[in-house]
Amino acid sequence: MDHRIAIVGAGAVGSYVGGYLARDGRDVVLVDPWPEHVATMNARGLRLSGMSNAECFETPVRAIDLSAVQGLSRERPFDIVLVCMKSYDTAWAARLLLDHMAPNGFVVSLQNCINEPVVAEAVGWGRTVGCIAAKISVELTGPGEVKRGVAKTNDGVAVFRVGEVHGRETPRVRAVAEMLASVDGAKVTTNLWGERWTKLVANAMKNGVCAASGMTANACDREPVTRWLSIRLAGEAVRVGLAQGYAVEKVEGYEPAEWMAALDGDAGMRARIEESMLASTAKRSEAFIPSMAQDVNKGRRTEIEHMNGLVVRLGRESGIECPANAGLMAAVRSIERGEARPALDLLRGV
């Protein structure tokens, strides 16, 4: 029997994944708190677009509002629940469908940051699976519409990395990876926690910088102030991750030691990384902004506390100061409180 799938949080990632799974013929239900988005999806489906014609399509989907979840008790229970909400909404989102899950059903955290412990508190460690989405770069541009800002992978690189919290490969994570392969490259990882921190480093060096500066991802990589800040953010985050015992993998093609070397004053290493950052702009849409900048533009709460804030907190535990991450967090929080507007000047002294 095919798996029955629910996606809690039909934002950018949830809608993007849900659209591909629905087009692939999967039994998938999208659950979201935005009534207009739900109504649009049910009326005309999802419209997905990207950087190639093959990525542009429309597909019918089934979506329900949070108020309709109780009605799911009359239906077949879910085998797989993908949580795609913001990190601060993880606890309730993980619990939402607990009464509507099959006996062997499980919850997959398909989110930024490190939310598996929160999911496990809600549903149990045995029902908790993690999934990293690397370099997917999608935006919900309106009700029922999702746009991807980077090209789909065609070089065998896995966008989705699915793993058990205990690190062993199991049939269920293989099944999730196979399912997500219809969306983009997918693999099973036996290094979930290391991959999680690796993605956190990538988020910590990009998301808040765009959010605080008000600039696109490409503009931030071209601007010397934000380019150097991104390197410092990554170097600090890598150092904290290693101190916490994570098996941190390459970030943007560079080893953890290389990021720390650039942070510590290795001019040659810094120049190499900056050259790569400039070259990466050719692979992205000029209009692309990451999720945190999207949240700032929409006046929404950001995940800064779960990204750079986590780096700062765990850094203190390990006796490592993280001034760049602390400074960026302060800048983004000042915007959230309405005390400042996004501007490059906010970051000049960080």
User: What confidence tier does 1 reach under pLDDT thresholds 50, 70, 90?
Assistant: low
Instruction: Answer yes or no: are the C-beta atoms of 324 and 350 closer than 8 Å.
Output: yes
Mean pLDDT across 284-288: 91
Q: Do 146 and 62 share a domain, yes or no?
A: yes
Cα–Cα distance for residue pair 45/179, rounded to 1 Å: 20
What pLDDT, on a 0 to 100 scale, did the predictor assign at position 157?
A: 75
Q: Do 321 and 199 share a domain, yes or no?
A: yes
Q: Do 73 and 21 share a domain, yes or no?
A: yes
Which of 139, 171, 190 terminates a domain? The answer is 190
Query: Can you give the pTM of this predicted structure?
Result: 0.94
Instruction: Answer yes or no: are the C-beta atoms of 177 and 187 closer than 8 Å.
Output: yes
Least confident of 2-11, 124-133, 160-169, 280-289: 280-289
Is the pLDDT assigned to residue 79 strictly greater than 70?
yes
How many contiguous H segments (helices) and E segments (strands) does the chain have? 13, 12
Total structural domains within the chain: 2
| Residue 232's CATH number | 1.10.1040.10
Cα–Cα distance for residue pair 161/176, rounded to 1 Å: 10
What is the percentage of the chain residues whose pLDDT exceeds 90? 94
Which of 137, 165, 190 terminates a domain? The answer is 190
Q: Do 131 and 221 share a domain, yes or no?
A: no
Q: Do 178 and 74 share a domain, yes or no?
A: yes
Q: Do 175 and 214 share a domain, yes or no?
A: no
What burial class does residue 169 get, using C-beta atoms within 10 Å of its C-beta: 0-12 exposed, 13-18 middle, 19+ buried?
A: middle
| Residue 37's CATH number | 3.40.50.720
What pLDDT, on a 0 to 100 scale, did the predictor assign at position 158?
A: 87
Which of 159, 174, 190 terminates a domain? The answer is 190
Is the pLDDT assigned to residue 94 strictly greater than 90?
yes
User: Residue 187 — φ and ψ, nearest 5°?
Assistant: -150, 165
Q: What tokens does 109 get?
A: 């955290």
Nearest to 227 by CA among 239, 236, 217, 238: 217
Is the pLDDT assigned to residue 73 strictly greater than 90?
yes
Q: What tokens does 8 get?
A: 């809690």
Q: Do 160 and 181 share a domain, yes or no?
A: yes
Residue range of the domain that includes 235? 195-347
Q: Do 214 and 280 share a domain, yes or no?
A: yes
Q: Do 102 and 166 share a domain, yes or no?
A: yes
300 alpha carbon, distance to own chain's centre: 16
327 alpha carbon, distance to own chain's centre: 22
Q: What tokens does 27 get?
A: 């039994």
Q: Do 208 and 94 share a domain, yes or no?
A: no
Chain segment 144-198, per-residue pLDDT in tens: 999 998 888 766 678 999 999 999 999 999 999 999 999 999 999 999 999 999 9
Mean pLDDT across 253-266: 98
